[in-house]
């Protein structure tokens, strides 16, 4: 039987590169579903994939992970279409309204932390978050909570006796403990919502393994490295396009000293593809699997232990369950009966 693979944020960047690589790896053995917010871009991505893999089976699913009702409707559609899901790649993410601290950048450029600054954006990036119509912080909802809600809704097709299914989260090297607080999991009061959401992703993955492994569902976390995607280009919106081109030789030079500069979506998807080939029950739940590219351009995957604790992950999980319950009740007051609270 074909493996059913759903990828969120699949219309561009790492998500689209992953889909291309998955089909190149096993066109006939896959049933691929692209879950995207923008229907037009999703159609273009599907056309591009079918152009290079005419025999591929590629479906589209419209879903905005920042919208609770959109996630619930999409999950219902998935359960109608598919009897099971083998892989769920939780890749959709945003970093809205980034602000670049030029002074901090030039100070860091000539310091011992220059490589780390380039690889993670630490110390030079802040963001102005927004609030969704559901009353949730936009980055938190898009990057974490929407995906959590999707997993909860898809339990019937993810957790089946005698089968294993795998969750693969796209995290970041920018997932810093200092940006996250259990007292403010949505990061309403901070200036680093992206970093907070990615650290929460690492925590949640660990807790999901604790609660779902016995049901055959496993969760892993990936860092794609420093990749030139639309999200990256948005970091410095005032930079003209040609300046990014001029910076590329600098990035290539940095790659000689650090293998985290994967640069292209193809390279950045290396760890996501690597996990597709593994038996999930043998993976380390405390590890983040990094896509790495050597100075010679060779891609490989390497695990690094995450800076997380089991106690914190369980506390976050409890808070997410409570937020899920509260959110469902609000949605149920205004939505059709099919979107009623989970029992």
| Residues identified as active-site | 194
Q: Residue 29 to residues 85, 86, 319: CA-CA distances in angstroms?
A: 14, 12, 39
- Report the length, in residues, of the chain: 343
| DSSP-derived secondary structure letter, 184 | G
Contact 78, 85 (CB under 8 A): yes
Residue 146 token pair = 């929407």
Cα 2 from chain centre: 24
Instruction: Give the span between the Cα atoms of 101 and 111, in whole angstroms.
Output: 16
Neighbours of 160 (CB within 10 A): 16
Q: In what order do the strands lie in the sheet with 57-62?
A: 57-62, 30-36, 3-8, 87-90, 165-170, 217-223, 287-293, 299-305
Stretch (H or E) spanning 290: strand 287-293
């Amino acid at each position: 039987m074909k493996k059913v693979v759903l990828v969120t944020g699949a219309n561009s960047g790492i998500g689209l590169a992953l889909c291309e690589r998955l089909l190149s790896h096993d066109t006939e053995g896959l049933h691929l579903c692209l879950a995207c917010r923008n229907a037009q871009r999703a159609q273009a991505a599907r056309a591009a994939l079918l152009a290079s893999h005419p025999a591929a089976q590629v479906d589209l699913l419209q879903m905005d992970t920042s919208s609770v009702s959109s996630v619930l409707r999409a999950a219902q559609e998935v359960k109608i279409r598919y009897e099971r899901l083998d892989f769920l790649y939780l890749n959709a993410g945003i970093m809205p309204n980034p602000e670049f601290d030029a002074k901090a950048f030039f100070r860091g450029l000539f310091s011992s932390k220059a490589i780390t600054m380039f690889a993670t954006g630490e110390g030079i990036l802040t963001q102005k978050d927004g609030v969704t119509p559901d009353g949730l912080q936009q980055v938190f909802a898009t990057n974490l909570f929407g995906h959590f809600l999707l997993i909860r809704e898809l339990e019937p097709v993810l957790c089946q006796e005698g089968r294993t299914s795998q969750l693969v989260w796209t995290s970041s090297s920018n997932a810093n403990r200092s940006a996250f607080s259990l007292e403010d999991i949505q990061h309403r009061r901070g200036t680093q919502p992206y970093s907070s959401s990615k650290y929460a992703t690492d925590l949640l993955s660990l807790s999901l393994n604790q609660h779902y492994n016995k049901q055959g569902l496993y969760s892993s976390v990936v860092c794609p490295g420093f990749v030139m995607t639309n999200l990256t280009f948005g970091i410095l919106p005032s930079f003209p396009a040609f300046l990014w081109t001029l910076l590329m030789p600098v990035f290539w030079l940095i790659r000689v000293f650090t293998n985290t500069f994967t640069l292209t979506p193809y390279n950045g998807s290396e760890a996501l593809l690597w996990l597709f080939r593994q038996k999930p029950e043998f993976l380390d739940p405390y590890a983040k699997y990094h896509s790495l590219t050597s100075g010679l351009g060779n891609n490989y995957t390497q695990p690094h232990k995450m800076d997380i604790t089991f106690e914190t992950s369980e506390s976050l999980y409890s808070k997410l369950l409570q937020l899920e319950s509260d959110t469902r009740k609000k949605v149920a007051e205004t939505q059709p009966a099919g979107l009623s609270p989970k029992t």
